[in-house]
Amino acid sequence: MAAKKYVCKVCGYVHEGNDAPSVCPLCKAGASEFEAVKAPKKGLDTNSDIYAILYSVVVVVIVAFLLAGVSSALKPKQEANIELDKKKQILASLNIKNQADAAAVYADVIKADPIVNVEGKEVAAEGGFAVANDAINDTNLPMYVAEVDGAKKYIIPMTGNGLWGGIWGYLALNDDCNTIYGVYFSHASETPGLGAEIASDKFQSRFPGRQVYRDGNVALTIVKKVADEAVEVNAISGATITCNGVNDMLQRKLAPYKAYLDAQAPVVEAAPAEEAAAIVEPATADAEAQEKVEE
């Protein structure tokens, strides 16, 4: 900023320097013809430190208030949407999709949302819907009991990790507490066309009819090559890590419900001999046996 500007009054030549030149290089006019020019000021010096600091503070405060205001104003509406979306997802696991009034259908179909624990005891008869995903643990396991066409269905919520972000879903079981009635998977940010395909009907339609538990463990897995039709599901090629994430989620989230589901399953007499032979763990033999019975 040290250099001042001098303009020649004769020809308009602008000279930069601390003093006016003795002779104008264009029109040869003398130093007296030069006039100092003041830097054009727009009232405020937008380059000063104070201005920059104040400006950033003001901008940030305005933006903060704007966002906070909008966020709190829209929050009730957003939460209602999230709740409705959760209901839609639960219904989707029962293969009820694209309902105009999902809330009414939900109220009609879902009969109870108990909270159970890992020992198979019911902790609370209702309130499962309100349990946040990160509050789910062995003593706080929410689930849903639905009634579709007169038959009871049990729905288990699941959360896990995919390749890029969270994945989640709901798995609906028939009243034998082992055969899958329907599933719903979704994801936050899996690769479109690959991992994101877990959310597609094409993938989800591979599940119904498969069994979840065998020999007291979660046997349901997604594999490259299906060898055992009863518990294995075809994976999505190119989406190995997402599929591994789904496997991990099934394994971790379905196991704690085993005890409760066993207690709910209707007792069926005498399993067919060849299938009963496959059962190794005597403690769960009863439950296992009737799970194997074909419908």
Partner 1 sequence: MGLFSKKNKEALNTPLFKENPVTVQVLGICSALAVTSKLEPAIVMGLSVTIIVAMANVIISLIRNTIPMRIRIIVQLVVVAALVTLVSEVLKAFAYDVSVQLSVYIGLIITNCILMGRLEAFAMQNKPWPSFLDGIGNGVGYAMILVIVAFFRELFGSGTLLNYPVLEKIGMYEIGYLNNGLMLMTPAAFILIACIVWYQRAKDKSLQE
The verdict on 47 binding partner 1 (CB under 8 A) reads yes
Q: In the complex with partner 1, which residue's Cβ is closer, 49 or 269? A: 49
| Stretch touching partner 1 by CB under 8 A, among 43-51, 111-119, 131-139, 272-280 | 43-51
- Tell me the C-alpha distance between 245 and 174, whole Å: 24
Please say which residue, 56 or 234, places its beta carbon nearer to partner 1. Answer: 56
Site for partner 1 contains 209 (CB under 8 A) = no
Q: Residue 189 interacts with partner 1 (CB under 8 A)?
A: yes
Query: From CA 14, how far away is CA 7, in angstroms rounded?
Result: 4
Compare residues 68 and 124 and give the one whose CB is closer to partner 1: 68
Sheet order of strands, 166-173 included: 110-112, 144-148, 151-161, 166-173, 180-187
Residue of 193, 229, 276, 280 interacting with partner 1 (CB under 8 A): 193
CB-CB contact of 128 with 121 (8 Å): no
Cβ(233)–Cβ(223) below 8 Å: yes
Minimum CB–partner distance for residue 170 and partner 1 (Å): 16
272 binds partner 1 (CB under 8 A): no
Tabulate helix, strand, coil % of the chain (nearest 5): 40, 25, 40
* Three-class SS of 42-91: ECECCCCHHHHHHHHHHHHHHHHHHHHHHHHHHHHHHHHHHHHHHHHHHH
Does residue 237 interact with partner 1 by CB under 8 A?
A: yes
Signed CA dihedral, 242, 248, 250, 252: sign only = negative
- If you count them, how many residues does the chain have? 295
> Minimal distance in Å, beta carbon 30 to partner 1?
38
Only one of the segments 135-143, 183-191, 224-232, 280-288 lies at the binding site for partner 1 (rule: CB under 8 A); that segment is 183-191
- Pick one of 57, 70, 104, 125: the residue that binds partner 1 (CB under 8 A): 70
Stretch that binds partner 1, among 54-62, 101-109, 135-143, 262-270 (CB under 8 A): 54-62
Closest by CA to 146, choosing from 181, 185, 122, is 181
- Choice between 204 and 211, CB closer to partner 1: 204
The rounded distance, in Å, linking the Cα atoms of 157 and 184 is: 10
Q: What is the DSSP letter of 26?
A: T
Interacting span for partner 1 (CB under 8 A) from 45-53, 119-127, 221-229, 286-294: 45-53
Shortest distance in whole angstroms from residue 132 CB to partner 1: 18
130 vs 114: CA distance, rounded Å: 11
Which residue in the set 26, 36, 55, 126 belongs to the binding site for partner 1 (CB under 8 A)? 55
Least separation, in Å, of the C-beta of 71 and partner 1?
6
Minimum Å distance from CB 242 to partner 1?
13
- Give 125: exposed, middle or buried? Use CB within 10 Å, 0-12, 13-18, 19+: exposed
Q: How far is the CB of 149 from partner 1 (least distance, A)?
A: 28
Binding site for partner 1 (CB under 8 A): 42, 46-47, 51-52, 55-56, 59-60, 63, 66-67, 70-71, 74, 77-78, 81-82, 84-85, 164-165, 188-189, 191-194, 196, 237-238
